[in-house]
Amino acid sequence: NPRIAAEADLSRDEDAVNTIAIGQKKPGASNKAPTFVYAGINSSTAELEKGKNEHFRVFSMAPSSSKSEKTAHTAVLSEVSRTALFQHGEGDKETYQRLLRVSA
């Protein structure tokens, strides 16, 4: 069964995750090396109204150093960057990132 390793806390104003991809680690990388998670998540409605949508997000997922029994998560997820890969047209607020492909 799949298990939740980590969760990203998004603002209530941000959109849901539309696309997601997990990058693989470099050969020979230690188990403590971060794994990168790439996601398509639209910015908040307020940002969209301003014509700004940094929809492409990169997260770093690293093993949790916490030994607490209170959390079921085995990793920590941290946002590394966000950017726009394309621009929305005038009045086009329904556009979203429909596809995400990662290539090494």
- pTM for this predicted structure: 0.79
Which residue, among 35, 37, 44, 88, has the nearest Cα to 64 in the 3D structure? 35
d(CA 4, CA 6): 6
- The listed range with the strongest mean pLDDT (16-30, 44-58, 79-93) is 44-58
Mean predicted confidence (pLDDT) in 64-89: 78
Q: What average pLDDT does the chain have?
A: 82
Domain residue spans in the chain? Answer: 17-83
